[in-house]
């Protein structure tokens, strides 16, 4: 099966050391790093993934999310070219879960979503559990997972508290380790609050066990909703209370040069045929932007609570934290009033930050990194720090297509000079494959349409230069690289994903 060849070699000494450390911790002993003095702690790090749903870069700002910036972004590294590849909920989450592109994971779209995931028992939580970690999930998993799992936890998770029906802010059900729980419309039922409380319980319980943990906390925010509320709703996110909305009721909708784009004749027909935005369209977009900012304020408050809980238990200094969005969102760019999935920057580029405690790096983390990174890099990064393999058992392994971010996070090692990331979608809305490098975006649609943007000269993607003679050599090179990426597997060998 594609992407199922033997996993990259990890030395026996490294695996033995990691296993010995985990065993010592489980027994309550003080773990030691190889070659360190008897006073040097070497406990494997905990891992926390905070994933939000549909947050674009335009609300990932300290004015909206001061707690997140205080606890994660400023002491960590923000990736300025962090990509959701592809920019659609379920394929992106499958990339986090497996470290693989859709052609290897099997998940190209939201429908049927999780049902198409290959070898569901061979994923990141199973790999970490095999390495001695306690694993937990809280929130929204992959689209289609309730139809497959019912109330059962996804394979590999020791603790499970996830939606088992339609996700929402209010009036939803979850599976609590197999037991269905229903929540209504009272103030304590707001899912962002509920999920944070559950995450804090997991951290406290695991602290008593003295085992390293992996926790994936996946908020519904700022996904839109069909609920009707006084301030938001009607296809907008829903903040916890009216005061949160009033705080942001007058913020200005960002309008970069691609907003309500004037000349779109050079784009594919599903974009070039869009009408110009009317005043009422802009009003609705602005309202949704304000509702998003208010909803993320609530999320930010809850993230602050969780981080303070980690600090109180002493786990923060041992926890590597990821903050990600599963895709961006359109707010009028290229005349798109809403949605994601298209391979333009507003949906492809996402909030992406990683905080690594000092004990797990050799030098300070850079504040900002411009290298092109993607969701497929999360699992390889975690495995690298954990000293684990992409194997749920001795002979059941995956080959991640992403690569460890450790060299970019204060660690040692190199990084590809001109890395290309693959985005591929096969959904009811769109069907394409694209390569995104530091300077270019090139996309091929089913049906023959092509787009090429020079992001260095045209960061707003206003001029499609596909077919232009001046870019013929560049386009041919990117087309060749894209063809290789569409059949790639792993980061080494003749079929390396580069």
Bridge pairing between strands 134-139 and 368-374: unpaired
Contact in structure between 240 and 190 (CB atoms under 8 Å): yes
Q: Tell me the CATH number for domain 46-422.
A: 3.40.720.10
Contact in structure between 392 and 121 (CB atoms under 8 Å): yes
Q: Could you tell me which residues come within 8 angstroms of residue 233 by beta carbon, excluding any fewer than 6 positions away? A: 225, 226, 227
Q: Look at the chain and count its residues.
A: 498
Bridge pairing between strands 352-355 and 46-52: unpaired
CA atoms of 442 and 431, how far apart (whole Å) = 14
> Could you state, in order of their start, the residue ranges of all structural domains in the chain?
6-43, 46-422
Contact in structure between 215 and 33 (CB atoms under 8 Å): no
| Nearest in space to 357 (alpha carbons), one of 279, 289, 302, 409 | 409
Bridge partners of 139? 162, 218
* Element (DSSP H or E) covering residue 451: strand 450-454
Residue 475 vs residues 306, 434, 449: alpha-carbon distances, Å: 46, 12, 13
pLDDT at 19 (0 to 100): 44
Quick: pLDDT tens for 118-140: 999 999 999 999 999 999 999 99
DSSP 50: E
* Lookup result for tokens 């994923």: 123
Quick: pLDDT tens for 353-366: 999 999 999 999 99
Per-residue confidence in pLDDT tens, the chain, 498 aa: 445 444 444 443 444 444 444 443 333 333 322 222 233 346 899 999 999 999 999 999 999 999 999 999 999 999 999 999 999 999 999 999 999 999 999 999 999 999 999 999 999 999 999 999 999 999 999 999 999 999 999 999 999 999 999 999 999 999 999 999 999 999 899 999 999 999 999 999 988 888 899 999 999 999 999 887 778 977 899 999 888 899 999 999 999 999 999 999 999 999 999 999 999 999 999 999 999 999 999 999 999 999 999 999 999 999 999 999 999 999 999 999 999 999 999 999 999 999 999 999 999 999 999 999 999 999 999 999 999 999 998 889 999 999 999 999 999 889 998 999 999 999 888 999 999 999 999 999 999 999 999 999 999 999 999 999 999 999 999 999 999 999 999 999 989 998
Query: Can you give the pTM of this predicted structure?
Result: 0.91
As given in the structure block, the two tokens for residue 348 are: 């492809």
DSSP 381-438: HHHHHHT--SEEETTEE---SS---GGGTT--S---TT--EEEEEESSS-EEEEEE-S
Quick: pLDDT tens for 229-285: 778 977 899 999 888 899 999 999 999 999 999 999 999 999 999 999 999 999 999
């Amino acid at each position: 099966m594609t992407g199922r060849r033997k996993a990259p070699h990890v030395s026996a000494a490294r695996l033995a050391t990691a296993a010995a450390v985990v065993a010592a911790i489980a027994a309550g002993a003080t773990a030691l790093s190889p070659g360190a003095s008897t006073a040097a702690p070497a406990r494997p790090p905990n891992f926390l993934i905070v994933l939000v749903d549909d947050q674009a870069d335009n609300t990932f700002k300290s004015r909206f999310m001061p707690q997140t910036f205080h606890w994660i972004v400023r002491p960590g590294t923000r990736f300025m070219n962090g990509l959701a590849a592809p920019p659609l909920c379920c394929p992106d989450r499958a990339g986090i879960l497996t470290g693989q592109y859709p052609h290897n994971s099997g998940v190209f779209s939201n429908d049927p979503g999780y049902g198409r995931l290959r070898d569901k028992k061979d994923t990141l939580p199973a790999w970490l559990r095999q390495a001695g970690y306690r694993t937990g999930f809280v929130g929204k998993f992959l689209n289609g997972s309730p139809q497959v799992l019912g109330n059962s936890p996804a394979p590999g998770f020791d603790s499970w508290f996830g939606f088992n029906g339609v996700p929402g802010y209010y009036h939803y059900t979850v599976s609590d380790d197999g037991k269905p729980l229903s929540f209504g419309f009272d103030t304590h039922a707001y899912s962002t609050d509920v999920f944070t409380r559950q995450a804090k319980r997991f951290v406290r319980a695991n602290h008593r066990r003295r085992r390293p943990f992996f926790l994936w906390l996946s908020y519904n925010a700022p996904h839109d909703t069909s609920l009707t509320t006084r301030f938001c709703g009607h296809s907008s996110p829903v903040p916890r209370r009216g005061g949160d909305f009033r705080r942001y009721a007058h913020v200005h909708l960002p309008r970069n040069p691609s907003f309500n784009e004037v000349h779109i004749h050079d784009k594919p027909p599903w974009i070039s045929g869009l009408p110009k935005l009317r005043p009422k369209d802009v009003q609705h977009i602005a309202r949704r932007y304000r509702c998003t900012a208010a909803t993320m304020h609530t999320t930010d408050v809850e993230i602050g609570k969780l981080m303070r809980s980690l600090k109180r238990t002493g786990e923060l200094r041992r926890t590597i934290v990821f903050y990600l969005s599963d895709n961006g969102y359109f707010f009028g760019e290229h005349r798109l009033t809403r949605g994601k999935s298209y391979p333009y920057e507003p949906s492809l580029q996402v909030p992406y930050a990683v905080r690594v405690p000092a004990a797990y790096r050799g030098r300070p983390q850079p504040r900002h990194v411009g290298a092109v990174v993607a969701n497929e890099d999360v699992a390889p990064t975690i495995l690298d720090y954990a000293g684990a393999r992409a194997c749920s058992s001795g002979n059941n392994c995956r080959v991640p297509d992403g690569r460890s971010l450790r060299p970019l996070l204060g660690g040692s090692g190199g990084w590809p000079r001109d890395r290309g990331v693959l985005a591929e979608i096969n959904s009811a809305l769109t069907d394409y494959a694209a390569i995104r490098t530091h300077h270019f975006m090139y996309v091929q649609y089913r049906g023959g349409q092509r787009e090429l943007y020079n992001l260095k000269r045209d960061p707003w993607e206003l001029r499609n230069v596909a077919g232009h003679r001046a870019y013929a050599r560049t386009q041919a090179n990117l087309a060749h690289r894209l063809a290789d990426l569409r059949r790639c597997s792993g980061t080494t060998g003749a079929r390396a994903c580069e």
